[in-house]
Structure 1
Amino acid sequence: MLYTFRSAIGKVGVVSYPTSVEIVSKNPIPIGTYVAIPFKTLDIISGETVECCAIGVISLTSYRRLIPISPTATASESIGIEDDMLRYAPSIARIIALVRSRDRNNLSIEIPNVPPPPDSEIYLAPPEILSILFSSKKENSIKIGHLLTRPEVEIHININALTKHLFITGTTGSGKSNTVAVLADRIASYGGTVVIYDVHGEYSTLEVGRDVRKISIEYKMNLLEIPPKVLARMIVPEGGATVQRMLVSRALAIAQKVFKELRSRYGLTEKAIENFTTIVKELIKESKSILETSLHRSMFGEKPEVDEPEEEVSTETIDINSKLIDLFKKFIKKLIEGYTEQYGESAEKACTKVDEFFENAAISFEAPSINTLLGPSTLVVLNVSLLSDEQKDHVLKIMLDELLWFSKSKYFTGDPQPILVFIEEAHIFLSTAKSTISRYSIERVAREGRKFGLALGIISQRPRNIDLNALSQVQNFVFMKLVQEADQQAIMNASDMLTEDLARSLASMGTGEALVIGEWVGRFPVFVKIDKHEGKKIGASLDIAEIWRLHRSRATTKMYAATSEATKDFEELFS
């Protein structure tokens, strides 16, 4: 034998293939258990007998009776047979590797190509072999956890393989966000740059390592940095409202040009408000025909002389940013109203859409570009939880386009800066049921990002709702608990390495347990217990029973206190 094994836990059954074997044992072997099957085989080329050891993982387990029970069957004890003798536990082991050697110092890990003989004994896989297969700790790797059921075997992933993108999926509460937190923190600690597109705001309070610079921003749209056509589609999302969208796009193009000039001259100050207010007042009083003159004067320093307008523009708002947003909205609406005679109802509807957008959207002219936040050992959490799904869709497109441009420019100037972007709730943006604005940007980064160091981490609890074409470039996977057959079928279609029995085994995964597949973890699929990130405060399921118990306890304490006070007052009154 290549290694000394402990006592056997079962034997190879009737059926044995190079990639899977049937195991018969007295008791069920838990799913995810790694087993070793030592046997000898004949090398048909050299004619020599070679020692082999098949390494497999239990992907299906069950219990059966040798004699089926019928309504008329007598109890096993009454016929003198112990009940244990009538039961056995068949299992299926997926063979992941074949270890060959003529001696212990000359091991070779090969793809399984010969089956173990029936009746071969089954043992727990020794940690020495498992470490060779899975624990590839190198300078370019980080630890993510340990082998399921074998804490002594650490699992590391190859950081360089992340350029081929990553997909993480599992049901609610399976541990997806904890996995993201572990990867993001440790990659940033390694020196990497990580961006989390935080759809639910659960990473804002994430506590990271001391070597990591964490920047958490509550995303607000800077309307001066978004292309007019993209912003117009956010304001007028209806596909058939082309005229409304065209009017909004024209108005935005002019407003952005004017406002950028004012910002460059005066900054975000009261002086900028004063000049911008003058332009808006002039538009309100005069017709659209003076627009070009007004713009020219504003941009080249000539302050237009105007009388008091018929309609006052209120600038009594909370701060400068709010004042500027209010003026920007009025400016856009006034530009659109100038087209009322030509486009009639479409112009009126476009103004209504502008009002609705500014009322509901999170906007700030002070919001920084994400590219200015990037750097080594940096984790940027972009909290977009305040935005609607449509706005999240548009903002994701803008962010990915910016990051791709940034990565390309850094690459071509000889100063590449790799970035890993995690996208939470990806089924919103890569839906099979509807088209989204960000889909093209996601697919473009998936196609082109690898060359420039821009990698995607796609996270979803609904793999069946994700367009598989969008996952065609993804080669690294973390599959956590999945119960629905449609979800299991979807991930089987997404990964060539995922067999049906492994996919079905995901239904029995516990919290934090995962099947990890892809180049980043090596040649073989591996069941992993993901490390728990102690700095992840939001996202885990609440202990609602404990919360309610504390609330009841506090309420009871207050009631007793009030009753005691009332009793005291009553006694003092009649004493």
Structure 2
Amino acid sequence: MVYSMYNSSNEIEDGVLLGRTSTPPRIPIYVKQADFLRHCLIVGTTGSGKTSLAMKLANELKRYGASVVLDWYGEYSRVGDYIVDVGVGEPVAIPIEDPLDAVFLLEEVLDLSSPQAYLLAKLLKKPKDLERVIDLIETYEPEARWEVETKASLMRKVSLLLKYGKVFKVVQPSEVDRLVEFSKGRLTVFNLSNLKTLELRRLVALGVLNAVKYLKERGVFKDSVFVVVEEAHNVMAKSKFLQKYLAEVRKLGIGLIVVTQSPAGLDYEIMNNTNIKVVKALKSADDISAISKSMNLDAKVASLINKLGYNEAVVEAPSLIEPILIELT
């Protein structure tokens, strides 16, 4: 038998109604808002309804704090209370405290080799140097033969970020509270769809995540923050940054809602670091295998995943003894 944490009332003071069990007695399935602070994973193929579900969660969770969305395709503008069209107007503030933080950020975003990261570390003497990194690379005189090719390859990668204009600015963490505004009860959407390259979208996404963390670490924002990360397989992939981020921010009152069409494209540790898992329809055998392994699904439940309807999902949550099939509301 499967149990819900709550009774059959449709009202709950401290949580979100996900749906009801698909078979009688149609038990309502609620998830506490505190459980979302231990992160949520939503997976499903294109058109399965995963973004609609993420929209609903972002809207409902803003009752308990601020909701923030990293919007890959410009789909959340109609539900956002405050929209930041990245790449249009003012650059987005990216907080960087130390030059090595800038190196690590670009190493993650651009998948730099060890020699490329080493050369970049030589060039970036202060955080603001990131804004003029192309000039620094161009004017650098190689000191060894290996640096000649490394300089050229580093320039090619960095150019992917900056050739479309200035969309970000480096700031000290102490400045973030004046430049990035969150408030309880508000859904803030960072629309990334205007950015032309995957690398630029990743840089801004990781920059916003850093900004949220800085605000919470310094006690500038007291309430919880729930962050929807769309296209997580593009933002996170096999990222060490995100593995560490997911583990660290739980104690700060930051919950991520990780949304992806390709769970096989995520690191296994990222999936395991999510407390709630909502599985919509998947078609790829690799994706079904990856999420089934992460949730320890039995063969009977796993066989349902490629047959799920638009309003159906397999859900794992602390309020449940085991993963179950539910009808979403």
Q: Which residue of 2 aligns with 1:420?
A: 226
Q: Which residue of 2 aligns with 1:528?
A: 326
Q: Which residue of 2 aligns with 1:476?
A: 276
Answer yes or no: is the 8 Å Cα contact 2:86–2:192 preserved in 1. Answer: yes
Deviation at 1:490?
1.3
1:9-158 matches, within 5 Å, as 96-97=1-2, 137-148=11-22, 154-158=28-32
What does the per-residue CA deviation read over 1:180-234, in whole Å, with 9 as the maximum and x for residues that have no partner? 011111112x242111111222212x236xxxxx111122455885564555637
What is the distance in 1 between the residues matched to 2:6 and 2:328? Answer: 19
What is the distance in 2 between the residues matched to 1:342 and 1:160? Answer: 54
What is the distance in 2 between the residues matched to 1:447 and 1:163? Answer: 11
Identify which of 164, 171, 174 aligns with 2:45: 171
Amino acid at match of 1:384: L
Structure 1 position 216 matched with structure 2 position 216: no
What TM-score, normalized to structure 2?
0.78
Structure 1 position 384 matched with structure 2 position 182: no
What does the per-residue CA deviation read over 1:59-99, in whole Å, with 9 as the maximum and x for residues that have no partner? xxxxxxxxxxxxxxxxxxxxxxxxxxxxxxxxxxxxx34xx
Larger RCO (CA under 8 A, 6+ residues apart): 2
What does the per-residue CA deviation read over 1:243-302, in whole Å, with 9 as the maximum and x for residues that have no partner? 65246424x65757xxxxxxxxxxxxxxxxxxxxxxxxxxxxxxxxxxxxxxxxxxxxxx
Distance change >3 Å, CA 443–CA 358, structure 1 → 2: closer
Answer yes or no: is the 8 Å Cα contact 1:144–1:182 preserved in 2. Answer: no
Q: Secondary structure at the match of 2:79?
A: coil
What does the per-residue CA deviation read over 1:412-432, in whole Å, with 9 as the maximum and x for residues that have no partner? x8x73211111111122443x
Q: Secondary structure at the match of 1:164?
A: coil
Structure 1 position 363 matched with structure 2 position 167: yes
Amino acid at match of 2:141: T
What is the distance in 2 between the residues matched to 1:440 and 1:160? Answer: 25
> Alpha carbon RMSD of aligned pairs, Å?
3.7
Answer yes or no: is the 8 Å Cα contact 1:193–1:420 preserved in 2. Answer: yes
Structure 1 position 207 matched with structure 2 position 79: yes
Structure 1 position 198 matched with structure 2 position 198: no
Distance change >3 Å, CA 372–CA 397, structure 1 → 2: closer
Answer yes or no: is the 8 Å Cα contact 1:165–1:476 preserved in 2. Answer: yes
What does the per-residue CA deviation read over 1:520-557, in whole Å, with 9 as the maximum and x for residues that have no partner? x44454433333xxxxxxxxxxxxxxxxxxxxxxxxxx
Distance change >3 Å, CA 466–CA 356, structure 1 → 2: closer
What TM-score, normalized to structure 1?
0.47
Deviation at 1:362?
4.7
Deviation at 1:345?
4.7
Distance change >3 Å, CA 134–CA 424, structure 1 → 2: farther
Structure 1 position 448 matched with structure 2 position 248: yes
What is the distance in 2 between the residues matched to 1:377 and 1:223? Answer: 22
Answer yes or no: is the 8 Å Cα contact 1:464–1:486 preserved in 2. Answer: yes
Q: How many residues align?
A: 313
What is the distance in 2 between the residues matched to 1:357 and 1:446? Answer: 25
Answer yes or no: is the 8 Å Cα contact 2:83–2:190 preserved in 1. Answer: yes
What does the per-residue CA deviation read over 1:479-519, in whole Å, with 9 as the maximum and x for residues that have no partner? 111233332221121114x3221121122211132122211
Answer yes or no: is the 8 Å Cα contact 1:135–1:153 preserved in 2. Answer: no
Q: Which residue of 1 aligns with 2:266?
A: 466
What is the distance in 2 between the residues matched to 1:148 and 1:452? Answer: 35
Deviation at 1:173?
0.7
Answer yes or no: is the 8 Å Cα contact 2:94–2:168 preserved in 1. Answer: no
**Considering only CA atoms, is the larger Rg found in Structure 1 or Structure 2?**
1
1:116-515 matches, within 5 Å, as 137-148=11-22, 154-188=28-62, 190-204=63-77, 206-207=78-79, 214-220=81-87, 221-222=91-92, 225-226=95-96, 228-229=99-100, 231=102, 233=106, 238-239=112-113, 240-242=115-117, 244-246=119-121, 248-250=123-125, 333=135, 339-340=140-141, 345=148, 349=152, 357-363=161-167, 369=176, 372-385=180-193, 386-410=195-219, 416-431=222-237, 435=238, 439-496=239-296, 498-515=297-314
- For structure 1, the residue ranges without an aligned partner over 5 or more in a row are 1-95, 98-108, 110-129, 209-213, 257-327, 532-575
Deviation at 1:379?
0.9
What is the distance in 1 between the residues matched to 2:216 and 2:14? Answer: 21
Deviation at 1:443?
1.6
**219-228 or 439-448: which moved more?**
219-228
What is the distance in 2 between the residues matched to 1:159 and 1:526? Answer: 20
- For structure 2, the residue ranges without an aligned partner over 5 or more in a row are none
Deviation at 1:361?
4.7
Answer yes or no: is the 8 Å Cα contact 1:517–1:525 preserved in 2. Answer: yes
Q: Secondary structure at the match of 1:241?
A: helix
What is the distance in 2 between the residues matched to 1:224 and 1:478? Answer: 31
What is the distance in 1 between the residues matched to 2:143 and 2:170? Answer: 36
Distance change >3 Å, CA 244–CA 461, structure 1 → 2: same
Deviation at 1:447?
1.4
Answer yes or no: is the 8 Å Cα contact 2:263–2:290 preserved in 1. Answer: yes
Answer yes or no: is the 8 Å Cα contact 1:191–1:377 preserved in 2. Answer: yes
Q: Secondary structure at the match of 1:167?
A: strand
